[in-house]
Amino acid sequence: MQLIHTKNKLRTFVREARAQGKTIGFVPTMGYLHAGHGSLIQTARKQNDVVVVSVFVNPTQFGPNEDLSAYPRDAERDLALMRTHGADVAFFPNVEEIYPAGFTTYVEVQGPMTATLCGRSRPGHFRGVATVVTKLFHMAAPDRAYFGQKDAQQVAVIQQMTRDLDFDLQIVVCPTLREPDGLAMSSRNVYLSTAERAQAPTISKALFEAEAMIQKGERTVAAVSQHIQKKLQTMPGAAIDYISIVDARTLADLETLHSTVLIAVAVKLGRTRLIDNIRVDVS
């Protein structure tokens, strides 16, 4: 596995691989990798000749009161996981490599897709996501890029951006990986205290109970949302950011359930903000 720090060296590697007729799979991450990231790398390994994994904690997607400085980082751990799962390139750019002096251009997906869910409480977040992913796509020039379903709104934004800007690549969405007790794997789980970690699986339980309600015939958004709210309120000290049931493709709010819906929640436990979601096909 090659360790690369600059975009010029990455581009050189990619050009040489393409000259040999090889396909490129790309897994962009913010590091502190876990088994969920490992599954993305494994899937990319199966579908491509070359796998590039980037680690970059992107400052433009953090708000002024968010956890940029405290975001967990462990390069050696990340490199070990990449090797285990078969990455060919580990791309570790610094901030100046991505945002050089004088940088003033940003990419923004507008409309309901970025105004709902996390967009309501994290203004500017998805502008930062779209900007850094655009730059990374240009640097890695992949045939396929891999993202986890846990970050469903991010995935929808990137899919829209890819269509709108005519990127010649496929966005591959992989299932959310969960701990044995149901908690969605996340780099931020390391922030949880022992007591908070014991409570956290209530989030996924609430989502799966909501899914069961729909499968039994419930079609009213309000009823499903109220059930989730009551379940989440059983966690001492939990602060609910949002409970949203939206169209899975457009992320538009719904009043009645139809087609495929995304049930998404964000909850703050202590200092840790956790998100989770499930997609449900409504027959």
Catalytic residues: 37
> Whole-angstrom Cα distance, residue 262 to residue 253?
10
Can you read off the two tokens belonging to residue 256? 């009645």
User: Apex CA 195: angle with CA 180 and CA 212, to 5°?
Assistant: 45
> Whole-angstrom Cα distance, residue 150 to residue 21?
33
Edge-first strand order for the sheet with 238-247 is: 238-247, 259-269, 272-282
> Whole-angstrom Cα distance, residue 94 to residue 219?
48
> Whole-angstrom Cα distance, residue 280 to residue 260?
6
Amino acid at position 261, single letter: V
